[in-house]
Chain A
């Protein structure tokens, strides 16, 4: 499962979702396929799902909205541990990812 563009690429390997590149999609509609992809993975029955954002250089506000919604989705599934791997190399991640922790306190945010 993979969604990609000349600037970005999203794919899933088992229970880990990888984000790569620069995401400047226009809005929720444009992000809808990505939402479906990851939402489907969340409901596959894994005990843990990881969002690997270390390759995600930039995510616009609509993309952050996507992550927020997915976090709320995961929070609703009580027994699912959501791990978010980020990096401090990209400033937006340090700025935006803590919000996910606010939305889902049990979320395992790993900023390296």
Chain B
């Protein structure tokens, strides 16, 4: 469209750049505002969601941990309860035997008969104790101090060996069912503390190895100092039991038989009268069983549980937990009794653990634990298990074990972190998508605006480019009209102008030549006209000069005017700038006097000639003795008319005559008013309109001519004038008028005709001042002496 227009980069000042800036700016603003709002809202949504999810997950996590702790505690309780039940069952059987001595001895005798291995003991020389041989359901050990000189158990001991064999009937099935137990056993009363245990083990041998010297010592005092006395106290007063239950649990210790860490559960047996202790039923469980339950706790990845005594001694924990809690095991050093295990929370290397308040439950606690030099946040919850009677050393006391759950916050919050990460990721994704969308929109809008701007502004830019080329004098440029809008209209107008400029420019030389030629022609024409004008002027000048000469030539001489005895005649004539056709004459023939005054229309030579003709014809008629005033004028008109037709002089004249024969004064012909100033000062104005008609208009005017006799006495003054007098204008455009003429004549009436004329003329000239004199001025004064 723009043909040869060079492609130009879009300047910042160009219309298109401005258009792009305005539209692009508006779109950018809109996108940034909407995009910014969207981003802000997404961020806020993300923040709120993170907060909500965080709170929800934290609550859920804590609830989960609490529930987990409850459930684990319930498991532990269940395990303990089962053991309790088994011990209770065993104790119930044994107690029933004690309470029924006859049946007890019968059952014992029956078992001795059917299972002699269970009651047949052999003395061990080395250990100095007696024990049944393997093969029985249970092992029964009789310590040396309970044997006689013959190494045979004393009779009451022997009876107990037999009656305790009832264990063989009950314990194996109890061991097989219910809670998993290491062993179940019967220990006799203080005076005969035989030790029957199911299943069969090298019981006494193991005792010898682990607890040297026990064989000579009082069993109860050696192994469980204070326990027996506590039970005896209970027998006297059941209310002294720390917990309303007969079952007494020991602190963890190393099992003398299996060498495993175990916990024993005793159920004391009572004498039939319930006044004293009659031994005990017991069951051992390995700590592994408790620990398994606790150690199986798995919260998150590295969460763990622990079971601790109320003093902080941890009885069950896995190795990770042990390490995490900074527990240090101190091996039992006591030479007597069961070997304990000391692994207290209070001795933890973690200050936060060492300072834990263990006497009450505190729900969820947040702790910072050292791990590899860093402080790592953990969640801890501690739950107290139901209280039980515990023997550790000395009297039995109440004990409530503690179940603890420890979870790294990071792990329990892992889902929270994961959710937060997901939200953050989603937010980031949305933000990125949003930014990409904004950028894409901007790109699309930019392209669209760029393209649209090209369409919209191309017309204007084409116009501007074309205008610049015109400025650079390239007039061949045209713009393509692509739209029907104002730009299109401007383009059309531009093309028309360009075409005209082009045409004028291309044809300029030709035009100049043509114009020069025209000017030359005109110059010649003007020269010719000038010459013609000059000639004309000369001719007119000559003509005027001739006319003036004729006019002045035919006027009567001064002496002709002065030769009358009884009348004075004075005359003044001043031709206008261009000589007119005023006529006056004084013709004398004998005593007859004819005074004529006339005015030929127009001026110039023709007027002069016409006037000359009038003068000549009048003279001729006068000379021919024509005394009839009417006939005189009619003939004069007839002659003039014919001459006017012949000469084609398109003029006529007003003409009036005064005929005076010394007595009568006759006025004839049509002309200006005749003014008569009587000697008595009376002014008489005589209209001549009815006395004739202009000469030269009609062939015969005799019908129109009339005469009028005017009295003319001594002292009377008659004024004849042409319209040059009355129609003379002053500077204000006022006419001199007949009244002024009359009053002037009146003022001068006593004076001579000459003085009258010169006086009136002087006034007239003053009146005219610098105003142009349009017409010939002729004034005649005729005065009767």
**A residues neighboring B (CB under 8 Å):** 24, 26-28, 58, 60-62, 64-65, 68-69, 72, 95, 98-99, 102-103
**A61–B654 CB distance below 8 A:** yes
Q: Does B700 contact A (CB under 8 A)?
A: no
Q: Which candidate, B175-183, B259-267, B294-302, B690-698, is the interface stretch facing chain A?
A: B690-698
Q: Which chain A residue lies CB-closest to B607? A: A27
Chain B residues with CB below 8 A from A24, complex form: 774
**B650–A28 CB distance below 8 A:** yes
**A26–B694 CB distance below 8 A:** no
**B578–A26 CB distance below 8 A:** yes
Q: Which chain A residue lies CB-closest to B672? A: A95
**A27–B603 CB distance below 8 A:** yes
Q: How near does chain A come to B656, taking the closest CB pair, in angstroms?
A: 13
**B601–A62 CB distance below 8 A:** yes
Known: A28-B650, A61-B654. A103 touches B697 (CB 8 A): yes
Q: Which 4 pairs from chain A and chain B are nearest by CB?
A: A27-B602, A28-B650, A61-B601, A65-B601
Q: Number of residues in B with C-beta < 8 Å to the partner? A: 24
Q: How near does chain A come to B721, taking the closest CB pair, in angstroms?
A: 14
Q: By DSSP majority rule, is chain B's interface helix, strand, loop, or mixed?
A: loop
Q: Does B689 contact A (CB under 8 A)?
A: yes
- Taken together as a complex, chains A and B put the C-alpha atoms of A99 and B650 apart, in Å, by 18
**B694–A28 CB distance below 8 A:** no
**B775–A99 CB distance below 8 A:** no
Q: Does B594 contact A (CB under 8 A)?
A: no
7 A-B residue pairings within 8 Å (CB atoms): A27-B651, A28-B650, A28-B651, A61-B600, A64-B601, A65-B650, A69-B650
**A68–B775 CB distance below 8 A:** no
Known: A26-B578, A28-B650, A60-B775. A99 touches B670 (CB 8 A): yes
Q: Mark B596-613, 1 if CB is under 8 A from A, else 0.
A: 000111111011000000
Q: Which chain A residue lies CB-closest to B652? A: A65
**Contact residues, B677-714 vs A (CB, 8 A):** 689, 693-694, 697-698, 704
Q: Does B723 contact A (CB under 8 A)?
A: yes
Q: How near does chain B come to A97, taking the closest CB pair, in angstroms?
A: 10
Known: A27-B603, A62-B602. A99 touches B651 (CB 8 A): no
**A68–B602 CB distance below 8 A:** no
**B723–A61 CB distance below 8 A:** yes
Known: A65-B652, A99-B694, A102-B704. A27 touches B689 (CB 8 A): no
**A99–B689 CB distance below 8 A:** yes
Chain B residues with CB below 8 A from A26, complex form: 578, 602-604
Chain B residues with CB below 8 A from A98, complex form: 689
- Taken together as a complex, chains A and B put the C-alpha atoms of A24 and B704 apart, in Å, by 28
In-complex Cβ contact of A95 among B578, B650, B689, B774 (8 A) = B689
In-complex Cβ contact of A68 among B604, B606, B694, B727 (8 A) = B694
**Contact residues, B582-630 vs A (CB, 8 A):** 599-604, 606-607
In-complex Cβ contact of B602 among A28, A58, A99, A103 (8 A) = A28
Q: How near does chain B come to A63, taking the closest CB pair, in angstroms?
A: 8
Chain A residues with CB below 8 A from B602, complex form: 26-28, 61-62, 65
Chain A residues with CB below 8 A from B578, complex form: 26
Q: Mark B759-779, 1 if CB is under 8 A from A, else 0.
A: 000000000000000110000
- Taken together as a complex, chains A and B put the C-alpha atoms of A111 and B599 apart, in Å, by 25
- Taken together as a complex, chains A and B put the C-alpha atoms of A32 and B767 apart, in Å, by 33
**A103–B604 CB distance below 8 A:** no
Chain B residues with CB below 8 A from A68, complex form: 652, 694, 697
- Taken together as a complex, chains A and B put the C-alpha atoms of A65 and B694 apart, in Å, by 9
In-complex Cβ contact of B651 among A65, A72, A102 (8 A) = A65
Q: How near does chain B come to A86, taking the closest CB pair, in angstroms?
A: 14
- Taken together as a complex, chains A and B put the C-alpha atoms of A112 and B654 apart, in Å, by 25
**A27–B774 CB distance below 8 A:** no
**B693–A103 CB distance below 8 A:** yes
Chain B residues with CB below 8 A from A62, complex form: 601-602, 651
Q: Which chain A residue lies CB-closest to B774? A: A24
Chain A residues with CB below 8 A from B651, complex form: 27-28, 62, 65
Q: Which chain B residue lies CB-closest to A72? A: B697
- Taken together as a complex, chains A and B put the C-alpha atoms of A99 and B694 apart, in Å, by 8
